[in-house]
Structures are given as C-alpha cells and as structure tokens.
Copies of this chain bind each other. A is one copy, B any other.
C-alpha cells in the first residue's frame, strides 16, 4: 500500500504528533506500506517533492512543534486557475497522484486544505482529511487538535496581563486569534477569568461596553477583555463586506483592540491599553490533551486508509472518532452559537459579551 501524506496551511501544535500516530499505525498494522511525506504542503505534491518516511523519522516527534514535512499556503481559489496551456495546480497534483501510484492521499489541514482535498476527491483521488486548526471552526467535528494548546497559551498570557492590569488599575484589551470565529477567544477568556469577551459572532455596542467597564471598575481594580481579531461593533456588523473594508481603512487599519482602547479611553475615565498576543498562539509543543488527541486522530486516519474509507475527513463527535464526507463539510464553518449553553452560562456568571 502506498500512502501520500502532507501538512498544509498555517502552523498548528500537534501536526507532528498526528504524523507520528498515523505512521505508527501504518508501520504496525499495514503490510508492505510505503509512506511518502510530501514537502511544503500541496507544493510537494505539485512538484513531486517528498521523502519516504521511516519509523525512526517519527519516533521522537510527539513533543516537537511545527511539522517535519514543512507547510505552505496554497489558496484554494488558485487551484483551478488556467494560465495559457500550462496545467492547473489541481491537474498537476492529480497527475502526480497517478504517476506515484498512490493508493490514498492524507491531508492535514484546515478549512482551505479541506476545500482543495475535496477537489482532489472529486477528480478521483482517494483522499482522507485530518482536521487541523487552532480556530476550532471546522464543521462537523466537536474539536480539532491544536485548539486546546492555543487556549492554554492564550489563557496563560491573559492571566499574566491581569496582574499588570491590577497593579496599575487599568482596562486591558487583549487580541486573541480568530478572524471569523470566536472559539479560541471564548475558551481562553473564560479560562483566564476575563471580565468581558468580544467575538465575531456577538457584535458589541460601544456604549454598553463603556457602561459595563465603568460598573466593573467599581468592584475591582482592573478589567481584562479578551477580544477576537475579528470582533466587530453592531454598526460594523450591519455593514456589507465592502462597506466594512472601507470603514476599517478609514480607521487607519488599526487592530480592533487599538480601536477599542481609544474609544474606551474617550468614553470612560480609565487608563485603557491594548496588546496583541500574535504568533505565539499557533506554534510550539502541544499540550497533553492535544498530544493524546493528535495520536488518536493520526491512528484513526491510518485505520480509514487501511479499510479504504476515502473521500472523508476525520471528526470527533460525542467523544468518539468518526468521519464526515469531505464534500459535505468543505466550505462550511462552525461558529460559536450566541445562544449556546456555554455562552449563556458565562453570561450568567457575569461575563460580558458586548451585546
């Protein structure tokens, strides 16, 4: 059996741990297996650049951040672009899949990776997707590896910032990753005892936020607010995409936390500060939870390959590993339900969501 595997899209804690779980299962349970690790994501498949993976390659990578295969971003939209007579990127990959006589291609990636995987599947390649994202926004799975590591890093950072906010009696707006969905901000915010949590799914009202801050500062020395990159005001939420883009350009293109800090400095008498957590949230060693989950997901993906269950992506549903049909989930997004149990309970404990 000849298996291709690649990691695609942004870095995510647990990629190597999944590779390890996958390969260990294969070497242990599948006769005469060959595993080709394509380098730099889909680029490796396009350019037929790969290395054959051995047990020694994956023995010691459970704890190692990043991906031993390298990764790159290959925008989905460019996959089928024709330039003159040259084959499209998609055609190149399908050709190589055939030339290399792959039985199956396994792709570790997020939403974009899954869309491309879905295209390959439609073109007749046997594909299995393994969902990777710190955003936790992949449709049809309860959780993805990398998410809890990012939660843990962001919560720890928020906790450090609280002590500084307390020392100086300040209001802090802390930007957490998450452009379209607020899972990471929500989880990290709750885990760090944030006073308010602003996410794209629940637009905030500036005046209500100012009133909340004023009230809270009567009770404690500081206010710490976890803000998703893509958080937006009620006003912005009512705009069209284009209007919003123009509006943000006018606002100087500054991050939402900066805009909030200056708005709240104007509307309240408190020192407001902003900080961006940035890249530290998506790299490095996975947490214990993700090492376990990654190992399981890798092994389960290998099991699907073994039994020939293709055109699917692995998922976790109700604490069991299973799979979804790739074409069903590609292009869909799992967003935080604004009336879900977690958000409602958090509101009831006094966490403010900006609405």
Contact = CB atoms under 8 A, between A and B. Distances in A.
A70 B224 CA distance: 16
B188 A349 contact: no
Interface stretch (A22-30, A203-211, A231-239): A22-30
Nearest to A186: B292
Contact of A28 (B15, B342, B348): B348
A221 B275 CA distance: 29
Contacts of A156: 288
A261 to B, nearest CB: 12
A159 B192 CA distance: 20
Interface residues of A, number: 83
A34 interface: no
Given A70-B221, A161-B279, A302-B348, 16 more contacts: A10-B168, A11-B163, A25-B345, A25-B349, A28-B350, A65-B160, A67-B167, A148-B289, A156-B288, A164-B282, A164-B283, A187-B288, A191-B289, A303-B345, A303-B348, A320-B341
Interface of A: 7, 10-11, 15, 21, 24-25, 27-29, 40, 55, 59, 62-67, 70-72, 142, 148, 151-153, 155-157, 159-164, 166-169, 172, 187-188, 190-193, 219-221, 273, 275-280, 282-284, 287-289, 291-292, 295-296, 298-300, 302-303, 318-321, 341-342, 345-346, 348-350
